[in-house]
Chains A and B, each alone.
Chain A
């Protein structure tokens, strides 16, 4: 297809594709925080068992926020899952069924991870050394399992020619060369996202920390973001080089190229902006906005590039009629109305907290 995504598709299909891409991008922000955050906690626990104190305030912030962010990740993940089922019902359902217990096990894995995060957060004084390391390791193992199960599920859904053999064999594993570069990309790309979200958290809570602590944290975030961007870029290049010809062509066609460019630009912008961060004074609002724009471009670009790979693997035209029928059912007005109301209420919660915090800071000490 030589038309920029999503314009070459019939309106209903394009509509659902856009909704899917937007909601998946939002989900990615939280998912990145969870993946990279759990690895940060593991690093902290390893330092702890070696008797070393935490290097920065970063791990403490992550530990404090991770359970809530996981809740948000699971919640925001529902919307793309919904649109995915409208777009690629057969592919998604078949991959789910073929991986069977393997895929379903990610649910207990998430429950265990959730509770371990609370354990790390709530019992921080009691849980030290080996206990801390064990809990953090379990969290990482659970998220690694979940990420690998999703990647496998996605790759299997793209390979309809292999479904019958996969079923007959009774195997619960599906292996593809794409598995490693994709997984490495997503894990590595989660660090720059975590870095920028943490930078905002530190920026907003600036008054609660010492300048020297913020400077140390800023340098840590810089390293985290730059290392993550470098590894993600490398994994993406390897994936693109080894991608089979038709899919590679799609990436450099009008369908995928603008988004591949967008993601690349996002990586460059983030890289340049982080490069200059040396002290706490460098975490300015304008710089953080620039990095956020870069991160947003990288996430949206990657999500669409991922979609282009899928669109080239399946015959979407056979689903146009299903998408058309789905687009004709009612209820969108109700959704938009409540979307607006609930978004306003969420903003209202934030305003109430901001006012409460401001009022508390104004109170005289003692």
Chain B
């Protein structure tokens, strides 16, 4: 079995997922602004051409420049940054995604090219184009922007719900997976909302000087908040499309996931209420500060949604294929035989600071299996999580990790590695003394092996499902 080992970097107190999550939220927000922005511009172009809005021309000028400066520049570079950050965090995940979907990505790239060319064409030559030409170029820009969402949405939703791809390995059964449509439609609505709110900011910052003129533009821009009415339905559809274990995390199973879902829902609800009750009915003027606040709420909603999307995949980075620590489901049995870091060629950078080889082995196991989500003492610190456990508790709970917490991947090494990990964590927890005895008890290793064999390599979500089925099956008819 050819398992690639990569040089894993230490992020200190920062959890690697926080880096990619933070960047991802920022990028998604900007990309959605570009998508919705295109639609909004088409609408205003129509208003301009039909003479229904006298300030439409100046709005198009100002908003498109803002779109170029914010979305083209930051959106494009953060898009590339997402790729590089994914490589830093989990090269195997991005590698599998590229292998499986490179033609989809290549297709998305053709739309990027169209988006950039049509965007700059409009920015530079809109004054020499006929009305029809302006609408065609804007239409091409908007279509390209939306299709870039269409393609990447298929790949991202496949990570959570690969659907029948796990059996067929057909690109399109993976692409049009169970969460594809709800996710695509929800994101489209989010894009339209963000565009509407950012337009209100632009109108206040760089719009016409007269309040009534601004009010007219805001009135038209706020119409793009109306589709938010469909968000609850699409949100429920997306939840229903999730695997049951993932759904259970956001519905109370994981406090953090539930909290982030609520941030997303709450922020969207506030925007929706404000938009529908005040703006659409034309009862309230929105000033720059309020527009900025609403846009910030939209950012929070995006953040909550993206955090949930990333988090509910646990313990996988690609469901039923690759765990979040970049170990394939199919590799665990092999790694339990030969050891997970036996073939890892990269030495420890702080190898001399450990009192013995067992602790060095434990540190390598931590680096390979745990460090993608855990730090020692920073974010999601492992020493905090198991600081109060006894030695045997640590051994049992790590050996049967997917049973301890179903959103954790199974331990992927042998008994010696597990004992090394337990010793290393205990040594760290006790202040890293200069001397530390090597734990060599045969009985301990045998016990760990028994625990490992007992739970096997079945993933946590599957164990949870089996437990539920067994519980139902064993219940007396009267108790059901």
**Chain A interface (Cβ < 8 Å from any Cβ of B):** 68, 71-72, 74-79, 81-83, 85-86, 89-90, 92-94, 96-98, 100, 103-104, 107, 110-111, 114-115, 118, 163-164, 166-168, 170, 322, 325-326, 329-332, 334-335, 338-339, 342-343, 345-346, 348-350, 352-353, 355-357, 359-360
The answer to the question of B129 belonging to the interface, with a C-beta cut-off of 8 Å to chain A, is yes
> Is B136 touching A115 in the complex (CB atoms < 8 A)?
no
* Neighbouring B residues of A94 by C-beta, 8 Å: 6-7
B31 to chain A, nearest CB (A): 14
| Identity of the chain B residue whose Cβ is nearest the Cβ of A81 in the assembled complex | B83
A77 to B83: give the CA distance in the assembly, Å. 12
B96 to chain A, nearest CB (A): 10
> Is A114 touching B88 in the complex (CB atoms < 8 A)?
no
| Main DSSP-derived SS at the A contact region | helix
* Neighbouring A residues of B98 by C-beta, 8 Å: 82, 85-86, 89
Contact of A167 among B117, B121, B169, B347 (CB under 8 A): B347
Asked whether A329 and B6 contact (CB < 8 A) given A96-B87, A167-B346, A346-B113, the answer is no
A163 to B4: give the CA distance in the assembly, Å. 14
A352 to B126: give the CA distance in the assembly, Å. 10
Cβ contacts A to B, 6 pairs, < 8 Å: A86-B102, A98-B7, A331-B106, A342-B113, A346-B114, A356-B128
* Neighbouring B residues of A86 by C-beta, 8 Å: 98-99, 102
A118 to B70: give the CA distance in the assembly, Å. 12
* Neighbouring A residues of B76 by C-beta, 8 Å: 71, 74-75
> Is A352 touching B136 in the complex (CB atoms < 8 A)?
yes
B156 to chain A, nearest CB (A): 16
Q: Mark B88-125, 1 if CB is under 8 A from A, else 0.
A: 10010011001111111111011111101110110011
Asked whether A97 and B118 contact (CB < 8 A) given A164-B345, A359-B128, the answer is no
Contact of B105 among A82, A96, A332, A350 (CB under 8 A): A82
Contact of A74 among B77, B95, B129, B169 (CB under 8 A): B77
The answer to the question of B439 belonging to the interface, with a C-beta cut-off of 8 Å to chain A, is no
Asked whether A97 and B107 contact (CB < 8 A) given A68-B120, A331-B171, A348-B140, the answer is no
> Is B171 touching A97 in the complex (CB atoms < 8 A)?
no
A179 to B358: give the CA distance in the assembly, Å. 41
The answer to the question of B438 belonging to the interface, with a C-beta cut-off of 8 Å to chain A, is no
The answer to the question of B293 belonging to the interface, with a C-beta cut-off of 8 Å to chain A, is no
Contact of B116 among A72, A82, A103 (CB under 8 A): A72
> Is B77 touching A110 in the complex (CB atoms < 8 A)?
yes
A191 to B375: give the CA distance in the assembly, Å. 48
A178 to chain B, nearest CB (A): 22
A114 to chain B, nearest CB (A): 5
| Identity of the chain A residue whose Cβ is nearest the Cβ of B143 in the assembled complex | A345
A83 to B347: give the CA distance in the assembly, Å. 30
Q: Which 4 A-B pairs have the closest CB atoms?
A: A331-B103, A356-B128, A93-B91, A330-B171
> Is A353 touching B121 in the complex (CB atoms < 8 A)?
yes
Asked whether A329 and B103 contact (CB < 8 A) given A97-B9, A353-B125, the answer is yes
* Neighbouring A residues of B129 by C-beta, 8 Å: 352-353, 356
> Is B130 touching A356 in the complex (CB atoms < 8 A)?
yes
The answer to the question of B278 belonging to the interface, with a C-beta cut-off of 8 Å to chain A, is no
* Neighbouring A residues of B101 by C-beta, 8 Å: 329, 331
> Is A89 touching B117 in the complex (CB atoms < 8 A)?
no
The answer to the question of B371 belonging to the interface, with a C-beta cut-off of 8 Å to chain A, is no
Contact of B99 among A76, A163, A329 (CB under 8 A): A329
Q: Mark B63-91, 1 if CB is under 8 A from A, else 0.
A: 00000010011101110110111011001
Q: Mark B276-300, 1 if CB is under 8 A from A, else 0.
A: 0000000000000000000000000
A75 to B121: give the CA distance in the assembly, Å. 15
> Is A335 touching B103 in the complex (CB atoms < 8 A)?
yes
A57 to B76: give the CA distance in the assembly, Å. 30
A122 to chain B, nearest CB (A): 9
* Neighbouring A residues of B110 by C-beta, 8 Å: 335, 338-339, 342-343
| Identity of the chain A residue whose Cβ is nearest the Cβ of B347 in the assembled complex | A168
A360 to B103: give the CA distance in the assembly, Å. 41
> Is A338 touching B81 in the complex (CB atoms < 8 A)?
no
- Contacts beyond the supplied A72-B116, A79-B109, A349-B117: 8 A-B pairs with Cβ under 8 Å: A85-B94, A93-B95, A104-B88, A115-B73, A325-B99, A339-B106, A348-B136, A352-B133
| Identity of the chain B residue whose Cβ is nearest the Cβ of A83 in the assembled complex | B102
Asked whether A355 and B133 contact (CB < 8 A) given A325-B99, A330-B170, the answer is yes
A355 to B134: give the CA distance in the assembly, Å. 12
A86 to B98: give the CA distance in the assembly, Å. 7
The answer to the question of B144 belonging to the interface, with a C-beta cut-off of 8 Å to chain A, is yes
A233 to chain B, nearest CB (A): 32
* Neighbouring A residues of B105 by C-beta, 8 Å: 82
Asked whether A82 and B88 contact (CB < 8 A) given A75-B116, A168-B349, the answer is no
A353 to B81: give the CA distance in the assembly, Å. 33
Of the listed residues A76, A118, A335, A349, the one surrounded by the most CB atoms of chain B closer than 10 A to its CB is: A349
> Is B346 touching A164 in the complex (CB atoms < 8 A)?
yes
Asked whether A71 and B116 contact (CB < 8 A) given A167-B349, A331-B101, A335-B107, the answer is yes
Asked whether A164 and B347 contact (CB < 8 A) given A78-B109, A96-B87, A346-B114, the answer is yes
A338 to B84: give the CA distance in the assembly, Å. 26
> Is A356 touching B133 in the complex (CB atoms < 8 A)?
yes
> Is A97 touching B7 in the complex (CB atoms < 8 A)?
yes
> Is A360 touching B116 in the complex (CB atoms < 8 A)?
no
Asked whether A357 and B73 contact (CB < 8 A) given A93-B87, A96-B88, A348-B140, the answer is no
Contact of B128 among A85, A97, A166, A360 (CB under 8 A): A360
* Neighbouring B residues of A77 by C-beta, 8 Å: 80
